[in-house]
Amino acid sequence: MDFTDKGFWTPQTQMMQTILEWTHNHLQEYQTALSIDRNPTMDQIILNRWPSLQVTRAIWPETDVQNMPMYQDNMFDMVYSHQVLEHVPKPWLAGKEIVRVLKPGGLGIHTTCAFNPRHGPPAFNDYYRFLPDGLEQIFDGIETLTKDEWGNRDALIYNLAIDDGFGNLGGRRFNQVVGSKNDGLYPWVTWIIFRKL
């Protein structure tokens, strides 16, 4: 899995490569997971590493992830999402629920964006953008295992100047020189992996 689009890097290529490598090197085994979205790429990473994982779906916005009384405390070994939290009106409530339903020692894997053109409407709204430290703050009672970002000035300029087939989302396919660069000043996507205390 290289997460490119016909050889071009995308805003998610380096993030997904990093998460794939992290999960591949993580030795703990898990049996149950809650996914708050339906994303084939994240599912592939998770299920390739833990093929017997039983995944329950609580898809936002059909399921209100800010309030999930249908799931007991300490119920899942893992909760994960991909590019969802920016669409939740009160992500700190979702963060509280995500941690609540995790078993102690359970794993959280969540991605979101620091930059993206507005997207989602009319199917769902778009509320927030997160830097890694801000993303970490919506989860209490955790040990952060890794948090990071990808982005660079050239990628953002290209996105704002070019329509390479994504319409209002702009230019989203880069050569490797742009796609592999992470300058630490212009983040596009962010992610966190944590363990519940």
Tens-of-pLDDT digits for all 197 residues of the chain? 889 999 999 999 999 999 999 999 999 999 999 999 999 999 999 999 999 999 999 999 999 999 999 999 999 999 999 999 999 999 999 999 999 999 999 999 999 999 999 999 888 999 999 999 999 999 999 999 999 999 999 999 999 999 999 888 999 999 999 999 999 999 999 999 999 99
Residue 115: inside a domain, yes or no? yes
Q: What pLDDT does residue 105 have?
A: 98
Residues in the chain: 197
Residue 159 lies in a domain: no
In a domain, 56, yes or no: yes
Rounded to 5°, the CA angle 86-162-150 comes to 45
Residue 3 is assigned to a structural domain of this protein: no
Range of the domain at 138: 13-151+186-196
CATH of the domain at 105: 3.40.50.150
With respect to residue 44, please indicate whether it lies within any of the assigned structural domains. yes
Position 82 scores a pLDDT of 97
Among 80, 78, 193, 98, CA closest to 146: 193
The token pair at 148 is 């990071």
The C-alpha atoms of residue 183 and residue 138 are separated, in whole angstroms, by 25
CA atoms within 13 A on the CB side of 8: 10
Q: In what order do the strands lie in the sheet with 142-150?
A: 54-57, 32-35, 76-82, 102-113, 189-196, 142-150
Q: Let me know if residue 160 belongs to a domain.
A: no
| Residue 181 in domain | no
Quick one: pLDDT at residue 93?
A: 98
Q: How many structural domains is the chain composed of? A: 1
Q: Is residue 165 in a domain?
A: no
